[in-house]
């Protein structure tokens, strides 16, 4: 049975726009995956480690028959094939791919947590996700993306996120 899955994409090295476009194409070419929707691109400040270039971020919706861990493996292979090196936490990256939501599933294991554990505090995820899925509900608490985004914006402001 196919599931609706939301994936966050980010890049702050090289040709960021081309990196995101290439990643979307590679994801859509995974057997058992169909691209359903994509957000606009957003330029955002780095999160965690701030002394690096700004990021371009996007969220896509796919439909897939792949189980979550198999999809994760495919996404990690794309990151590696595009030149991603995991040298430092929150460091610069040519591409970063994260599974945000996978249908209504809740997973919590060392390899994969769904919903993504920090997505509710990250505007670079919430803003593009709200563009294509504002009424989505988090499977673990029932809150909508719109509600969570409003709460973060009220608390922190927009922190320089800009549609490009």
The residues annotated with a catalytic role in the active site are 84, 93, 96, 98
The SS3 call for residue 56 is strand
Q: Encoding tokens for residue 27?
A: 């994801």
- The number of beta carbons lying within 10 Å of the beta carbon of residue 80 is 12
Residues in the chain: 164
Q: Which of 158, 145, 91 is nearest to 119 (CA)?
A: 145
**Structure-block tokens of residue 79:** 């990151």
């Amino acid at each position: 049975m196919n599931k609706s899955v939301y994936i966050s994409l980010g890049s702050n090295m090289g040709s960021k726009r081309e990196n995101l476009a290439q990643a979307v194409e590679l994801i859509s070419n995974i057997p058992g995956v169909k691209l359903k929707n994509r957000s606009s691109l957003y330029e955002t400040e780095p999160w965690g480690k701030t002394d690096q270039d700004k990021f371009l971020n996007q969220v896509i919706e796919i439909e897939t028959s792949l189980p979550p861990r198999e999809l994760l493996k495919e996404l990690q292979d794309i990151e590696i094939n595009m030149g991603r090196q995991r040298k430092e936490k929150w460091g610069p990256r040519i591409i970063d791919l994260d599974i945000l939501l996978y249908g209504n599933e809740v997973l919590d294991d060392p390899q994969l947590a769904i919903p993504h554990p920090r997505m509710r505090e990250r505007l670079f995820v919430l803003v593009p996700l709200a563009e294509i899925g504002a009424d989505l509900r988090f499977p673990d608490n029932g809150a909508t993306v719109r509600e969570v985004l409003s709460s973060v914006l009220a608390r922190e402001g927009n922190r320089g996120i800009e549609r490009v």
